[in-house]
Amino acid sequence: MSRPRVLSGVQPTGALHLGNWLGAIRNWVDLQETHDTFVCVVDLHAITVPHDPSRLAEDTRSTAALYLACGIDPKRCSVFVQSQVAAHSELCWLLNCVTPLNWLERMIQFKEKAVKQGDNVSVGLLDYPVLMAADILLYDADLVPVGEDQKQHLELARDIAQQRINARFRGKDTPVLKVPKPLILKEGARVMSLTDGRSKMSKSDPNEGSRITLLDPPELITKKIKRAKTDPERGLEFGNPDRPETDNLLGLYAILSGKGRQQAATECAEMGWGQFKPLLAEATVSALEPIQARYRELMQDPTELDQVLRTGREKAETVANDTLERVRDALGFARPA
């Protein structure tokens, strides 16, 4: 029996932060042990808002290097660049033509991002979730590990597969597309901003002090944690709705120290901030240190990364082209002579 399939990806926009690692990449690393895993750098998604062409290629490679540095093992997992597998764009088009416009107009992330773009909203920004559905459906993914913010996009991918393709078109093997399930693990699924415990840590927050990136040097990590927003109460606890910053920082400590929620809560129940913050800084620095060391190694010698991305692309192409052909057949396209 073949192993269940996993697909996921992160955009190469800005530096990856603790939310990307804890909410997404860390789960991929666990899944590669038991699943057939594909992870891509979704560079086509990165151009849905204005981007800098002089940085795109470099950011794409650096994101891929971070996947490996975080523990993605190219022997078990195919790592590739989305734009290098043409089937993503092509399936996106086919899905575009069966997806109702109003499904896209109600996407929360689109509405949020569109506001930020003012009158410069591209068709691509609206279409972003259909491209994401194509990414997932091409690989017959069983599971898609993502952070909480992607739940609505996953539901859209399921609806497109089920209601718009499988219910309307017959394949040689029916159903045409596999309907994927999201995998949103509770712990780490929503890492919040260091400057506001009610909004999520995000690459696009103009305040860099709001996030810790995976490549921040130790002094900067310590400084950001020192300045992180807290509240006047003493003692840390989980789940108090009036203390979102406390919940977030204690949650980060529980994961990054490896102690888990219960032990962290007991240890910090009576602690003041002056005692807790250095502990959190230390745990963060030690958790990121091996990732940073491996990242530097990978970026110094491009041959290893090139090889990983080439092999990953070849494997991805084989699977993706197969699915694309299935969809083309189901939709009734003429086969090339």
Q: Which of 165, 161, 163, 133 is nearest to 146 (CA)?
A: 133
Among 48, 78, 82, 150, binds ligand AMP (CB under 6 A): 150
Among 64, 201, 250, 330, binds ligand AMP (CB under 6 A): 201
| Contact between 20 and ligand AMP per CB under 6 A | yes
Residue reference for tokens 């190219």: 74
- Annotation says 113 is catalytic: yes
- Count the site residues for ligand TRP by CB under 6 A: 13
- Contact between 210 and ligand AMP per CB under 6 A: no
Q: Catalytic annotation on 186?
A: no
**Closest separation between CB of residue 18 and ligand AMP, Å?**
8
Nearer to ligand AMP, 187 or 267 (CB): 187
Q: Report if residue 236 touches ligand TRP, rule: CB under 6 A.
A: no
**178 noted as active-site residue:** no
Q: In which element (H, E) is residue 300 found?
A: helix 273-300
Q: Which does 23 bind (CB under 5 to 8 A by kind): ligand AMP, ligand TRP, none?
A: ligand AMP
DSSP assignment string, 196-239: -TTSB--TT-S-GGG--BTT--HHHHHHHHHHS---S-SS--S-
If phi > 0 it is left, if psi is from -120 to 50 it is alpha, else beta; for residue 146 that is: beta
Residue of minimal CB distance from ligand AMP?
A: 23
Interface with ligand AMP by CB under 6 A: which range of 66-74, 128-136, 183-191, 279-287?
183-191
Q: Is position 255 an interface residue for ligand AMP (rule: CB under 6 A)?
A: no
At closest approach, how far in Å is the CB of 297 from ligand TRP?
26
Residue 8 binds to ligand TRP (criterion: CB under 6 A): yes
Sheet holding 77-81, edge to edge: 77-81, 36-41, 5-10, 143-145, 181-183
Contact 143, 5 (CB under 8 A): yes
Is 203 near ligand AMP (CB under 6 A)?
yes
What the block records as the tokens of 169 is: 């078109």
Other residues' Cβ atoms within 10 Å of the Cβ of residue 52:
9
Q: Is 5 helix (H, G, I), strand (E, B) or coil?
A: strand
Binding mask 111-150 for ligand TRP (x = CB under 6 A): ---------------------x--xx-------x-x---x
- Helix 244-256 to helix 260-268 angle (10° resolution) is 120
| Helix (H/G/I), strand (E/B), else coil: 35 | coil
Q: Give me the amino acid identity at 225.
A: I
Query: Residue 31 or residue 330: which is nearer to ligand AMP going by CB?
Result: 31
**8 Å CB contact between 287 and 22:** no
For ligand AMP, give the closer residue by CB, 144 or 236.
144
Q: Stretches 7-15, 113-121, 226-234, 262-270: which one binds ligand TRP (CB under 6 A)?
A: 7-15
Count of beta carbons in the 10 Å neighbourhood of residue 275: 11
Which segment (95-103, 143-151, 158-166, 256-264) binds ligand AMP by CB under 6 A?
143-151
C-alpha–C-alpha distance, residues 258 and 59, integer Å: 30
Which residues are near ligand AMP by CB under 6 A?
10-11, 19-20, 23-24, 146-147, 149-150, 189-191, 200-203
Q: Which residues are catalytic?
A: 113, 200, 203
Contact footprint for ligand TRP (CB under 6 A): 7-9, 11, 42, 45, 132, 135-136, 144, 146, 150, 153
